Amino acid sequence: MKDWFRRIGGLAALALLVVSVCLTSAAPVNLSKPIVDSIHITGAIDPAMALYVDRGVQAARADGAQALVVLIDTPGGLSDSMRSIIKDFLASDVPIVVYVWPRGARAASAGAIITLAANIAAMSPGTNIGAAHPVGVGGGNIGGTEGTKVENDAAAFARSVATQRGRNVHWAELVVRKSISSTEREAKDQHVIDIIAADQADLLRQLDGRKVTTASGTVILHTRNSAIRAIPPSFREGFLHVIDDPNIAYILMILAVYGIIFELSNPGAILPGVVGGISLILALFSLAVLPVSLTGVLLIVFAIILFLADLHAPTHGVLTLGGIIAFLSGSLFLFGSESRVAPGLILGATGVTAAFFIFAVGSGIRAQKRKVVTGKEGMIGKIVPARTDIAPTGKIFADGAYWNAVTEGEPIKQGELVSIVGVEGLTVKVKKA
């Protein structure tokens, strides 16, 4: 038996050795060639993207990469996350190449300033860059003195970045103050970007031999025969970034509302409260990044209030109908034009919510119309035999007890059927059935 275990252990150790050798030999790049690392920024610029970019810069430094190519397609995002990314770019010893890709992509708002911060900025055909005027969390302009301060700060930062990289400072100013946007050809002609490349292979060919200045000095790029090593987001970075999607944020918000309502309606259920609480926290994280419309939020909150009001004071569906209209309108207006929720998801969520509350309201109305079968009210209308003569008083037996009975009509003989028409204390009013 011991020999058998020893053999199994030996085979397992050999298998682990073979797997480790295979994994080591199956490197994704050819080490005999220069390495170019690559990361891909998609969606909103948020804390998760900032973490991802920071890790990509560190990995490129550790790999001794010729450059870090940052593929970008973004509508913008948080100013703090943008500044964190740009700090990494400016402090990098490895040349940073930002490439607006694929065709149809954009580097808007925060993405435009990030592109300006690259050692080399490139765009593929059919892309655009710009529109970096700062906006509030709700997606609208920031008014008053605060708005002026934020705009001046953003414009100064854009000018500083453009000066640092030798780009068009005037364009950097206008992209913040006037929200101008340029195509790839316009950006190249105005000295906003350096390269227009059809694809990544074309980009590497055009990068080869270029001289750039990094945090550690001047570097000449050798990228013609380099191997590209893609660095994907980690699970944590990917998860945090996924929940910043407007569709996911919308689902989390709906789950939070349902969970909290169910927990308040059924104290002690626990599971709805736990699900609602977790969903609420994740939804708040998402809503802090996305351009949320206050109008949309207020309409959805008002819809929930109408639904709950109709549950407790049924109005035959009038409040529920108003809630459905408010819920649908709020869902449509919840995010800015850059981050729309899928129409199918909105219709589905509205339909499920409407069906639930219509069912709940309908159940309440049916319960109100249902005949009372317990207590004094439940005795009215019952037909029972008289236990004694009732002329005008006597006895009946109903609901397991003897009752004093009184009749205001003709006398009732013992054994005749009577109908209960009223209850006063321990006395019931009856008449012949």
Q: Residue 406 sits in a domain of what CATH number?
A: 2.40.50.140
161 with 143, same domain: the answer is yes
Question: What local confidence, expressed as pLDDT, does residue 9 receive?
Answer: 43
281 with 301, same domain: the answer is no
Place of tokens 């480790």: 20
Better pLDDT: 25 or 391: 391
Residue 214, CB-side half-sphere exposure with 13 Å CA sphere: 20
Give the end of a domain, one of 190, 210, 234.
234
270 with 299, same domain: the answer is no
pLDDT, tens digit, for every residue of 166-218?
Answer: 999 999 999 999 999 999 999 999 999 999 999 999 999 999 999 999 999 99
Better pLDDT: 142 or 38: 38
Better pLDDT: 122 or 342: 122
Domain of 415 in residue numbering reads as 375-432
Q: Is residue 14 part of a domain?
A: no
What number is the average pLDDT over the span 371-400? 77
Q: Token digits for 432?
A: 């012949």
258 with 161, same domain: the answer is no
Q: Is residue 84 part of a domain?
A: yes
Q: Is residue 105 part of a domain?
A: yes
Better pLDDT: 84 or 373: 84
What is the rounded CA–CA span in Å between residue 334 and residue 272?
24
Question: What local confidence, expressed as pLDDT, does residue 2 receive?
Answer: 41
Give the end of a domain, one of 325, 344, 370.
370
Whether residue 7 has pLDDT greater than 80: no
Q: Indicate the average pLDDT of the chain.
A: 84
Question: What local confidence, expressed as pLDDT, does residue 316 receive?
Answer: 67
Whether residue 387 has pLDDT greater than 90: no
Q: Is residue 313 part of a domain?
A: yes
Give the end of a domain, one of 346, 370, 394.
370
395 is catalytic: no
Would the pTM count as exceeding 0.85? no
Whether residue 42 has pLDDT greater than 80: yes
Q: Is residue 118 part of a domain?
A: yes
286 is catalytic: no
Q: Is residue 13 part of a domain?
A: no
Question: What local confidence, expressed as pLDDT, does residue 364 receive?
Answer: 55
419 with 274, same domain: the answer is no
Catalytic residue among 149, 178, 265, 363: 149
Structural domains of the chain, count:
4
202 with 311, same domain: the answer is no
342 with 216, same domain: the answer is no
327 with 228, same domain: the answer is no
pLDDT > 70 fraction of the chain, expressed in percent and rounded: 84
170 with 255, same domain: the answer is no
Q: Token digits for 383?
A: 């037909």
Looking at residue 189, which CATH number applies to its domain? Answer: 3.90.226.10
- Residue pair 224/45 in contact (Cβ under 8 Å)? The answer is no
Catalytic residue among 38, 81, 92, 109: 109
Whether residue 270 has pLDDT greater than 90: no
96 with 215, same domain: the answer is yes
* Nearest CA-CA partner of 67 in 206, 235, 188, 233: 206
Q: Is residue 3 part of a domain?
A: no
pLDDT, tens digit, for every residue of 409-429?
Answer: 788 888 888 888 888 877 888
Residue type, 91: A
72 with 111, same domain: the answer is yes
pLDDT, tens digit, for every residue of 182-196?
Answer: 999 999 999 999 999
Question: What local confidence, expressed as pLDDT, does residue 358 receive?
Answer: 72
Q: Is residue 19 part of a domain?
A: no
226 with 88, same domain: the answer is yes
What is the rounded CA–CA span in Å between residue 313 and residue 231?
57
